[in-house]
């Protein structure tokens, strides 16, 4: 395990509500090739209150890379709705473009 992973794990263990640590850990775990764990971490962020909008984008991209296009479409659609609800037009537009590219 890389020291970056260990540091992020320790940060999250110290404060399980640390959204940024969970997001960074999900990204790092994805880089390490543990895609299922990364998706689980992103799902936790998407179910957080309030949901963490960047997690929808990154989970969608990961699902596309894994060839799970239909799941990615659902994640992007949910992310667009959440981004709009939170007034995040940039994220909504970005996910809308990715969704449109998937057809």
Query: How many structural domains are present in the chain?
Result: 1
3 falls in which pLDDT band (50, 70, 90)?
Answer: confident
Q: Which residue range(s) make up the domain with 42?
A: 3-102
Give the helix ranges, DSSP H, for the chain. Answer: 3-14, 19-31, 35-47, 53-65, 69-85, 89-102
The CATH number given to whatever domain includes residue 93 is 1.25.40.10
Q: pLDDT value at position 2?
A: 60
Residue 41 · residue 26 · CB < 8 Å? yes
pTM above 0.85, yes or no: yes
Asked whether the predicted pLDDT for residue 26 surpasses 60, the reply is yes
What does the block give as tokens for 72?
Answer: 């990615």
**Tens digits of per-residue pLDDT, 40-95?**
999 999 999 999 999 999 999 999 999 999 999 999 999 999 999 999 999 999 99
């Amino acid at each position: 395990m890389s020291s970056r992973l260990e540091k992020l794990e320790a940060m999250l263990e110290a404060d399980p509500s640390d959204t940024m640590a969970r997001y960074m850990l999900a990204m790092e775990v994805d880089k390490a090739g543990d895609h299922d764990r990364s998706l689980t971490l992103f799902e936790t962020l998407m179910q957080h209150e309030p949901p963490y909008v960047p997690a929808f984008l990154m989970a969608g991209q990961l699902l596309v890379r894994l060839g799970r296009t239909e799941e990615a479409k659902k994640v992007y659609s949910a992310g667009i709705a959440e981004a709009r609800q939170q007034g995040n037009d940039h994220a909504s537009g970005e996910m809308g473009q990715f969704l449109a590219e998937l057809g």
